[in-house]
Chains A and B, each alone.
Chain A
Amino acid sequence: MTKGERLVTAIVVGAPIAAFSIWALLDNPRLYLVTMLNSLTLASLYFIVASGFTLVFGLMRNVNLAHGSLYLLGGYVGYVVARDTGWWILALAAGFAAAAVAGLLIQVLILRRMQGQDLRQTMVTIGLSIVIADVLLWIFTGQVYQMEAPSWLQGPIRDIPVIKAYSAYRLSLLGFGIAIGLFLWWLLNRTKVGAMIRAGVDDRAMLAASGVNVNLVFAVTFMLGAGLAGFGGVIGAVELSMVPGEDTRLLLASLIVVIVGGMGSVVGAAIGAAILGLAETYGLAYAPTYSVVFTFVILIIVLAFRPRGIMGKAA
């Protein structure tokens, strides 16, 4: 991209957004700012779930379409643990662990047997998502579960200028998203495992040739990715409630986030999640009937101009 093209893009994309923001701020500043917070917190949840998805994809070229089911699994396990022990933090750990173990089993028992056959692996994950969703429906029925936020995050935070009051739990989502983002950055850029994962993304064969147990790296990454889905499930169980069908919703969100952001890139996942969160929430607040269409239009525009996503590299 040349400097001129960049400028044109910035004007074409930025000008309508700036115009809308100015209008909305003058019209109803509170609505605008609350919506902003809502979108960023929703984006955090999307980021947590989608970062696992993109991590797995980047390393293994494996689209794990059972990711939504792992999200739901984590949410349900977290719910049960929180109900029985009353410890929300424990529920978070349990949700992460349950999804991670399920992911590890999927990777070791099934996906490893068909290494390199992308399409077949993807179809297997589709089959798994059907089976997992139905087993969860069997155990937990179609009832709507809502998890309670831990007591120290319950209730609104008051006395914020303009916005007045905002849910403490929702605000904490932002913190979770940033914390996970920082953790992933640290893991990928500052540790030996991260170096192996990055090397694997670039050239799997070379990594194996330099004496690294690639299968182990794969298993760890898949575990981490699946665990992040389960972690997101517990967080989302408080905010969104759990019911069959949420798995599809989060899977769709993850898909759009990584398509828009660029597959295999954690930074891309953050950008994609922010875009999706903003588009969805502002769409719901200002044009309820067409909020889905907004998301879709963004998807089309990004695909038309950057087929590999905003941060995506050419294969």
Chain B
Amino acid sequence: MSAARWRRAMNTGAVGVAAAPLPAVPARSGAARSMSVDRHAAGTAPSRWKLLSRAVSVRHVLVLVFVLLLPFVATPFFTYQVAAQALIFGLIALSLSFLAGYGGMVSLAQMSVAGMAGYAVAVLGASGTESSLGWHWGAVVPIALAIAILASTLIGWLSVRTDGIYTIMITLAIGVAFYYLVLQNYSVFNGFQGFQKVYPPSVFGINWREPLPFYFLALFWAMAGYFFIQWLVRTPFGIALQGTRDNARRMNSLGFNVTAHRVAAYAVSGLLAGLGGVLLVWYNGLISPGSVGTGWLINVLVIAVLGGMKHPIGAFLGAIVFILLQTFAIDLIERERFNLLIGGVFLAIVLFSPDGLLGLWAKLRSRFGSKQAVTSTTRR
């Protein structure tokens, strides 16, 4: 990459993705208008509002309204089985697409990290199995997240010692090894059966297992994860991480500690995957070795690639498509042939649109619409 292109990448990275150069003058939406009013009222113009109004466009407001109204329109089945599940898998896939899209490291162990958090919730918290310790959720969830972060950091530390293609192999080996560990170990992980009846706690008098509250719980954390990543990739750390993705050697000679940045990225992805894992075990109400089997390790990759890894929203797009296919494809084909369908879709995406659905969208836009970019900083 030439110096000029490098500088450009740094700049676009700093301005960010959604904040494609919009004309700052006319208020394009209700939210933006109220903010500009605020600014005049306050007299001095806080640059934060300005940034926000630039970042928020009509489509963001539309999506927000849609996800907030959805559970009141859709059936409880759809809210819980499709929307909430898609949000959870989107969160887990987001941890991968952050690593892969911004760090250039494709880890197949993200589902294992999520599974570790899920297992921690089941082992330490309450479940239908004797060996669960039954601690209070307020202690269990932070510990589960800490375990996920720690595990992810260790996996990162092991796999960033080598790079590129090796990462896939090492993380796949680690993921499958974790599967065999929980399958064979009965004293802690309860072997093949795993843990049943792992339910979310009742807090504030709300039963979080009901479709509506659970949907909003999942939505809250999914959005928190999404905006966290959106913010993180514009911080100096995020920019430096993208630098290590594009040219590790150059970053190294600029004085950046490449290994430390990569391991830190793994820690961040561990937090996201851990969150997803906790939600997933509550969603399913159970966790067993099947939840962390090879099939699911790869499904997370499928989701991330399906949506596109150049922007955090891709993970959620991919998750929605994946879950819709999984839920409704059985009406069209035999249930057993789902893998064939999803494998075929995955192959088609990798072969014909390496940037996933986002890539397709960008292609369509560049053909028919304005020249605004919807994807993140270009890679190479």
Contact = CB atoms under 8 A, between A and B. Distances in A.
Say if A and B assemble together. Answer: yes
Interface string A89-133: 000000000000000000000100000001110111011101101
Nearest to B346: A127
Contacts of A119: 106, 164-165, 168
B162 interface: yes
A300 B336 CA distance: 37
B347 A304 contact: no
B350 A120 contact: yes
B168 A122 contact: yes
Contacts of A292: 177, 180-181, 184
B180 A255 contact: no
B34 interface: no
A56 interface: no
A256 interface: yes
B344 interface: yes
B233 interface: no
B264 interface: no
A308 B162 contact: yes
Given A119-B106, A255-B169, A291-B184, A130 B162 contact: no
Contacts of A291: 184
Nearest to B342: A130
Interface string B201-220: 00000000000000000000
Given A289-B185, A291-B184, A307-B162, A134 B350 contact: no
B354 A259 contact: no
A248 B295 CA distance: 10
Interface string B347-366: 10011001000000000000
Nearest to A252: B176
B144 interface: no
16 contacts: A63-B165, A119-B106, A122-B168, A123-B301, A126-B298, A126-B346, A127-B350, A128-B347, A133-B339, A134-B339, A248-B176, A252-B173, A259-B169, A291-B184, A292-B177, A299-B177
Interface in B294-339: 294, 298, 301, 305, 336-337, 339
A11 interface: no
B170 A303 contact: yes
Contacts, number: 101
Main secondary structure of the interface of A (DSSP, over half): helix
A259 B173 contact: yes
A255 B173 contact: yes
Interface string B173-194: 1101100110011110000000
Interface of B: 106, 158, 161-162, 164-166, 168-170, 172-174, 176-177, 180-181, 184-187, 294, 298, 301, 305, 336-337, 339-340, 342-344, 346-347, 350-351, 354
A273 B165 CA distance: 21
Contacts of B181: 292-293, 296
A53 to B, nearest CB: 10
A127 B339 CA distance: 10
B186 to A, nearest CB: 8
A105 to B, nearest CB: 14
Interface of A: 61, 63, 65, 110, 118-120, 122-124, 126-128, 130-131, 133-135, 137-138, 248, 252, 255-256, 258-259, 263, 288-289, 291-293, 295-296, 299-300, 303-304, 307-308
B351 A134 contact: no
B106 A138 contact: no
Contacts of B305: 123
Nearest to A284: B184
Contacts of A296: 174, 177, 181
Contacts of A127: 343-344, 346-347, 350
A110 B350 CA distance: 11
Contacts of B342: 130
Which of A122, A123, A259, A263 has its CB near the most chain B CB atoms (within 10 A)? Answer: A123
Contacts of A65: 168, 172
A138 B339 CA distance: 11
B344 A289 contact: no
- Determine chain B's interface SS by DSSP, over half rule: helix
B337 A138 contact: yes
Nearest to B161: A307
Contacts of B336: 137-138
Instruction: List the 6 closest pairs (A to B, CB-CB), nearest first.
Output: A130-B343, A127-B347, A307-B161, A131-B343, A134-B339, A134-B340
A131 B166 contact: no
B335 to A, nearest CB: 12
A151 to B, nearest CB: 35
Nearest to A123: B350
B351 A124 contact: yes
A51 to B, nearest CB: 16
Given A123-B346, A130-B343, 16 more contacts: A61-B165, A65-B168, A65-B172, A119-B165, A123-B350, A124-B350, A124-B351, A130-B339, A130-B340, A137-B336, A138-B340, A248-B176, A289-B185, A289-B186, A292-B184, A303-B158
B72 to A, nearest CB: 37
A221 to B, nearest CB: 17
A124 B347 contact: yes
B169 A289 contact: no
Nearest to A124: B350
A288 B184 CA distance: 9
Contacts of A124: 347, 350-351
A128 B168 CA distance: 16
A24 B161 CA distance: 36
A131 B347 contact: yes
A128 B342 CA distance: 11
Given A119-B164, A131-B343, A134-B339, A299 B350 contact: no
Contacts of B106: 119, 122
A86 B352 CA distance: 44
A128 B347 CA distance: 7
Contacts of B177: 252, 292, 295-296, 299
Contacts of A259: 166, 169-170, 173
A138 to B, nearest CB: 7
A30 B294 CA distance: 37
